[in-house]
Amino acid sequence: MKRYALLFMVVIAFAIKAQDWQSFMVENQLPSIQLNEESAGTSTGIPAGEKNPKLAFVLSAIVPGSGQFYSKSYIKSGVFLAIEVTSWSLYFKHQNDGKDIEKEFQSYANTHWSESEYWRWIANQAGLEYDEENIENLREWEQQAFSHGLHREKDQQYYEMIGKYHQFSWGWDDFREDNTIDITDAEITRQYNESGKINDNRYFYEQRRNAGNDAFKKATTASTIALLNHLLSAIDAVWTTSRYNQRVQTSFRFEPKIYDREPLTVLTLRVDW
């Protein structure tokens, strides 16, 4: 805190009694008399009129900008609150967009990718009989032949794998139109390596799945910004409150001084900020 003293030389003691008065003042200096009413203090230990930095921290940690509002920094309060509202609005928007796209590409996969046809292709590759009611032997062969196995439940991994890995190509209806069931996984891989592209339905499906993932990533980014906004607002609220408490204060006191080699008593007006 910077302090500046404005000295008003008010001569109280005259030459005859100056020395005696000087000694008296040195021995009996009074504390500063505050000119405002904010020096009284409160039950919380915070001087009356000042703001509690801990309370400001908690307020902004809960609702960004509220600690700044408490400390009467209204512009910063509005900024932090605007970031909070914007970030959560974007979070819900992108989260809902992601869910809608997810439903879309899952429905598309259920229409254009056939699990039964995939297991029929696995049975052909393994030289086993295809029994739609019992495919456990096909699952065992799949686990031995491939690094990835089709999930039993249609979960996130299920929908990711059928578009990501070539081994699931036979399940796509347009792929079956252009190939025979005898095509091997090695031939499928070579076919894709030579052409540099995948079948149209799988490509469209992957594009929509990527769009869904992008929407969820944006939602995650928005929520991260919101959480950081809570933290930064709380930290700034402490600083803002401290700055608020450093407002201008005034006080005066009688102090002994030496002027022109003579002891005098002066009235000191102190302005602090």
Cα 53 to Cα 62: distance, rounded to the nearest angstrom: 14
pLDDT in the model for residue 27: 54
**143 occurs within a structural domain:** yes
Task: Flag whether 80 is in a domain.
Answer: no
> What pLDDT does 44 receive?
53
Query: Which residues of the chain have a pLDDT value below 70?
Result: 1-48, 248-254, 259-262, 264-273
- The tens digit of pLDDT for each residue in 8-59 reads 333 333 333 444 545 544 554 545 444 444 444 445 556 667 889 999 999 9
Is-contact 118 99, C-beta < 8 A? no
Residue 41 counted as domain residue:
no
> Taking the complete model, does pTM exceed 0.85, yes or no?
no
- Domain containing 195: what range? 101-221
Q: How far apart are CA 124 and CA 170, in angstroms?
A: 11
Residue 168: both structure tokens together: 């699931």
pLDDT reported for residue 133: 87
Note the pLDDT of residue 246.
84
pLDDT at 253: 65
Q: Is residue 127 a part of any domain in this protein?
A: yes
- Does residue 15 sit within a domain? no
Give me 188's structure tokens: 């499928």
Whether 186 maps to a domain, the answer reads yes
Q: Which amino acid is at 37?
A: E
Residue among 230, 268, 231, 226 at smallest CA distance from 250 = 268
In a domain, 2, yes or no: no
Contacts of 266 (CB under 8 A, 6+ apart): 7, 8, 9, 10, 11, 254, 255, 256, 257, 259
3-state secondary structure the chain: CCEEEEEECCCCCCCCCHHHHHHHHHHCCCCCEECCCCCCCCCCCCCCCCCCHHHHHHHHHHCCCHHHHHCCCHHHHHHHHHHHHHHHHHHHHHHHHHHHHHHHHHHHHHHHECHHHHHHHHHHHHCCCCCCCCCHHHHHHHHHHCCCCCCCCCCHHHHHHHHHCHHHHHHEHHHHHHCCCCCCHHHHHHHHHHHCCCCHHHHHHHHHHHHHHHHHHHHHHHHHHHHHHHHHHHHHHHHHHHHHHCCCEEEEEEEEEEECCEEEEEEEEEEEC
- The domain total for the chain is 1
Q: Does residue 175 contact residue 163 with C-beta atoms inside 8 Å?
A: no
Identify the pLDDT of residue 263: 72
Please check whether residue 68 lies inside any domain of the structure.
no
The whole-angstrom separation of Cα 54 and Cα 11 is: 46
